[in-house]
């Protein structure tokens, strides 16, 4: 990922969050990884986080209190994302979730593989894409 940029993971499952943290370590991704557990916490983070530059948001969809699509709707209305790319990282293969998130401007939609080696490849791909992408 881009140097000096923080990655925000919005994920309610502790095991999945630990898996992302492990993948960052195994792939030697040195960006800070901040983790919040649902859309409400993500909005609070974005509203109160002026000191860190976000490089990307990895967003789960199926979460309690406020799911990923609800988060995207509100964040887009409030301009809370300020051009920060969002990649959905979820277990949902539902077509309506894919369409709904792309309608809300996500940069990508990745289904979480169960196999750790495949999961590493997903994170490696996201890392490569955002390392090569020019951000505003």
Query: Does the pLDDT value for residue 3 go beyond 70?
Result: no
Read off the pLDDT of residues 53-108 as tens digits, 9 standing for 90 and up.
788 999 999 999 999 999 999 999 888 777 789 999 999 999 999 999 999 999 99
| pLDDT band per the 50, 70, 90 thresholds, residue 130 | confident
Indicate if the alpha-carbon torsion angle 68, 70, 73, 76 is positive or negative: negative
Q: What is the pTM of this model?
A: 0.92
CB neighbour class for 1 (10 Å; exposed up to 12, middle 13-18, buried from 19): buried
From 73, 89, 65, select the one nearest 10 (Cα to Cα).
89
Q: Does any domain span residue 100?
A: yes
| pLDDT band per the 50, 70, 90 thresholds, residue 39 | very high
The region of weakest confidence among 47-56, 77-86, 117-126 is: 47-56
Query: Does the pLDDT value for residue 9 go beyond 70?
Result: yes
Q: Does any domain span residue 113?
A: yes
Contact (Cβ atoms closer than 8 angstroms) between residue 84 and residue 136? no
Within a 13 Å sphere around the CA of 26, how many CA atoms are in the beta-carbon half? 14
pLDDT at 78: 86
Q: Does any domain span residue 133?
A: no
What's the average model confidence in pLDDT over 21-49? Answer: 93
Question: What is the number of domains present in the chain?
Answer: 1
Hey, is 36 helix, strand or coil?
strand
CATH value at residue 47: 3.40.50.2300
What's the average model confidence in pLDDT over 118-132? Answer: 91
Q: Does any domain span residue 39?
A: yes
pLDDT at 29: 93
Q: Does any domain span residue 50?
A: yes
Q: Does any domain span residue 134?
A: no
Q: Does any domain span residue 99?
A: yes
Name the helix (H) or strand (E) containing 130: helix 116-132
Query: Does the pLDDT value for residue 2 go beyond 60?
Result: no
Q: Does any domain span residue 135?
A: no
């Amino acid at each position: 990922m881009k140097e000096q940029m923080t990655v925000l993971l919005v994920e309610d499952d502790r095991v999945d969050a630990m898996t992302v943290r492990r993948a960052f370590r195994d792939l030697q991704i040195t960006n800070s990884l901040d983790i919040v557990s649902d859309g409400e916490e993500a909005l609070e983070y974005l509203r109160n986080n002026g000191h860190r530059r976000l490089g990307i948001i990895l967003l789960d969809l199926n979460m309690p209190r406020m799911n990923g699509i609800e988060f995207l709707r509100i964040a887009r209305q409030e301009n809370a994302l300020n051009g920060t790319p969002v990649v959905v990282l979820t277990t949902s293969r539902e077509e309506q979730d894919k369409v709904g998130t792309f309608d809300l401007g996500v940069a990508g939609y990745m289904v979480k593989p169960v196999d750790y080696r495949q999961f590493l490849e997903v994170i490696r791909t996201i890392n490569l894409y955002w390392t090569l992408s020019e951000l505003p």
